[in-house]
C-alpha cells in the first residue's frame, strides 16, 4: 500500500497548476449518458474516482476515448451504444458519487438499476432526497437486495416535470434531479437547490447539449424538458478544494516561508476560504485565473463553521485545522455538514497538535511546532491535512493509506516536490 514520506521544514516556492475539479468531473462524466452524440471534455483530472466512474460507465456501454493516451485530461464520451443501464455493487461500493448515474439513465432509457453507494466513511449522505425527487417526477422506484430499481411510472414514455423541494441542500441530489429533468416532459422546478460552482458547471455543460435551464447559481432552478440532447464540448472548472489545500499548505509553513503562484485557478469560487486565509495572515494577490500567496510569519488561529456554498466548505475544514494546529491562539471549528468528519484529529494529535472535540466542534490550541510521526489517512480531505501538517513538522512524517488522497488529488506529491517540499511516494 502506497505511503508518503515527508521531511518537514522546507520552504515552498514556485508555481503550482490546478487540475479540473473532481466534484465537477464526476457528474459531468455521468451527463455523457444523456446523449447518443459525442461529448468532449477537457481539463479532466486523472484521479482514482474519475477512473472508477469511467469503468462504471464503460460497463454500461458508454465509451470513453482519450485522443492522446499520454494525456488523460481530454476525453471523448460516446453514449450511442448503452446496453446495460445498471451500476453494480463491485464498483459502486468504492465511491458514493456513482449514484449520479441514476437520474440520466432513468431519464433517457426509462429504467435503471443502481447499487446503493459506498465511499468515504464521513457520515450519512442520504440518497432518499434523490429518490423523493424522482418519484415526484413520476418514477416508480423500489429498493431491493441493496439496489435501487427505477422505471417510468405514471407516464410510460418519459419522466414528468414537477415542483421539487428537497428537505436539505444536497449537491449530488441537485445534480441527479437536474440531469433527470432535462429530458422530462414539461417544467421542473428544483427548490432549495445546491449553489456550488460544480453544480453550475454541470448546468453549463447541459445547456451546451441543448438543455433549457434557468436560475443557475441560485437555489431555484427551472428546467424545461426537451426531447433529446446533442453532443458538446466543455472544459471542466478548476478544483477550488485543491486550490484551497495548497493555500493552506503555504499558511502552515509560517516562518519557514512560502511563495506560491497558483495557476489555472478560479478565485471567484473560493471567497470564504480566501477571507479566512487573509485573517490567518497570508498575503494574497488575485487575478482572473491565478492566486499568488506569500507567508513569512506564524499564522493566526481562525475559527469558522462549515456550511453550504457560498459559506465555508466542509471539504476545507481538515486542511485549515492542520494550519490552526501551528497557529497563534485558539480556534473553534464547527462542522455542520457531516457528523463524522473529525477523524483526522487523533492523527494530527499524534504529530503534536492539541485538539479536543466537543460534539460537532473541534477546539485547537496552537502549538509552537509539530514533530514527525507515522500517521494514517482516514478519508480524502483528512489525508490532505496530514500532508500539510507533515510539511510543517520537524523530522519525518509517514502518511499511510494514501489511496484516499489519490481519490481527489492528481499526484499531489509531484506538485509539492516541484515547489521545494521534500516528499516522496513509497510502497
Q: Is 120 a catalytic residue?
A: yes
Helices (H) and strands (E) in the chain, counts: 14, 24
Phi, psi of 15 (to 5 degrees): -110, 140
Cis amide linkage into residue 385, ω under 30° from 0? no
* Edge-to-edge order in the sheet of strand 139-144: 86-87, 111-115, 147-152, 139-144
Cell of residue 376, nine digits: 494514517
The residue count for the chain: 427
**Would strands 422-426 and 220-224 be described as parallel, antiparallel, or unpaired?**
unpaired
Contact 33, 79 (CB under 8 A): yes
3-state secondary structure of 5: strand
**Residue of 120, 182, 399, 423 marked catalytic:** 120
Euclidean distance between CA atoms 313 and 404, whole angstroms: 19
Euclidean distance between CA atoms 236 and 247, whole angstroms: 21
Euclidean distance between CA atoms 151 and 133, whole angstroms: 14
Euclidean distance between CA atoms 58 and 37, whole angstroms: 16
Q: What share of the chain is helix, strand, coil (3-state, %, to 5)?
A: 35, 25, 40
Of all helices (H) and strands (E), which one includes residue 414? helix 412-417
DSSP-derived secondary structure for 364-409: EE--S--B--EEE--SHHHHHHHHHHHHHSBSEEEEE-THHHHTT-
In sequence order, what are the residues at sequence separation of 6 or more whose Cβ sits closer than 8 angstroms to the Cβ of residue 94? 52, 118, 119
Which residue in 347, 354, 381, 409 sits closest to 122, CA to CA? 381
Contact 234, 28 (CB under 8 A): yes
Contact 258, 295 (CB under 8 A): yes
CB count, 10 Å around CB of 190? 24
Euclidean distance between CA atoms 225 and 188, whole angstroms: 8
User: Which residues are marked as active site?
Assistant: 120
Amino acid at each position: 500500500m502506497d505511503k508518503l514520506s515527508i521531511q518537514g521544514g522546507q520552504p515552498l516556492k514556485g508555481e503550482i497548476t490546478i487540475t479540473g475539479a473532481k466534484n465537477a468531473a464526476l457528474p459531468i462524466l455521468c451527463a455523457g449518458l444523456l446523449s447518443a452524440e459525442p461529448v468532449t471534455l477537457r481539463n479532466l483530472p486523472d484521479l482514482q474516482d474519475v477512473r472508477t466512474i469511467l469503468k462504471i460507465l464503460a460497463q454500461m456501454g458508454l465509451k470513453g476515448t482519450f485522443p492522446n493516451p499520454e494525456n488523460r485530461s481530454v476525453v471523448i464520451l460516446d453514449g450511442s451504444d448503452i446496453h446495460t443501464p445498471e451500476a453494480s455493487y463491485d464498483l459502486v461500493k468504492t465511491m458514493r458519487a456513482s449514484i449520479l448515474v441514476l437520474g440520466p439513465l432513468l431519464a433517457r432509457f426509462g429504467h435503471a438499476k443502481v447499487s446503493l453507494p459506498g465511499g468515504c466513511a464521513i457520515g450519512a449522505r442520504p440518497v432518499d432526497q434523490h429518490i423523493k425527487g424522482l418519484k415526484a417526477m413520476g418514477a416508480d422506484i423500489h429498493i431491493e437486495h441493496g439496489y435501487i430499481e427505477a422505471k417510468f411510472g405514471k407516464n410510460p414514455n418519459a419522466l414528468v416535470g414537477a415542483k421539487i423541494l428537497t428537505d436539505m441542500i444536497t449537491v449530488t441530489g441537485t445534480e441527479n434531479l437536474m440531469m433527470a429533468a432535462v429530458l422530462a416532459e414539461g417544467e421542473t422546478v428544483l427548490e432549495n437547490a445546491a449553489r456550488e460552482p460544480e453544480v453550475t458547471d454541470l448546468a453549463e455543460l447541459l445547456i451546451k447539449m441543448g438543455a433549457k435551464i434557468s436560475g443557475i447559481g441560485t437555489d431555484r432552478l427551472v428546467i424545461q424538458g426537451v426531447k433529446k440532447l446533442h453532443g458538446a464540448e466543455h472544459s471542466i472548472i478548476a478544483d477550488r478544494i485543491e486550490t484551497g489545500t495548497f493555500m493552506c499548505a503555504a499558511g502552515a509553513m509560517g516562518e519557514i516561508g512560502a511563495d506560491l503562484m497558483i495557476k489555472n485557478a478560479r478565485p471567484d469560487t473560493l471567497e470564504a476560504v480566501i477571507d479566512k486565509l487573509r485573517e490567518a495572515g497570508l498575503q494574497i494577490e488575485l487575478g482572473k485565473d491565478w492566486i499568488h500567496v506569500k507567508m513569512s510569519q506564524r499564522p493566526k488561529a481562525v475559527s469558522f463553521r462549515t456550511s453550504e456554498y457560498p459559506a465555508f466548505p466542509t471539504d476545507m475544514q481538515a486542511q485549515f485545522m492542520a494550519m490552526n494546529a501551528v497557529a497563534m491562539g485558539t480556534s473553534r471549528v464547527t462542522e455542520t455538514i457531516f457528523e463524522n468528519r473529525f477523524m483526522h484529529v487523533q492523527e494530527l494529535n499524534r504529530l503534536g497538535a492539541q485538539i479536543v472535540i466537543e460534539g460537532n466542534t473541534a477546539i485547537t490550541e496552537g502549538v509552537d511546532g509539530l514533530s514527525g510521526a507515522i500517521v494514517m489517512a482516514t478519508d480524502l480531505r483528512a489525508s490532505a491535512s496530514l500532508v500539510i501538517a507533515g510539511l510543517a513538522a520537524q523530522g519525518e512524517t509517514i502518511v499511510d493509506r494514501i489511496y484516499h488522497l489519490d481519490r481527489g488529488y492528481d499526484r499531489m506529491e509531484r506538485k509539492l516536490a516541484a515547489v521545494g517540499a521534500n516528499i516522496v511516494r513509497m510502497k
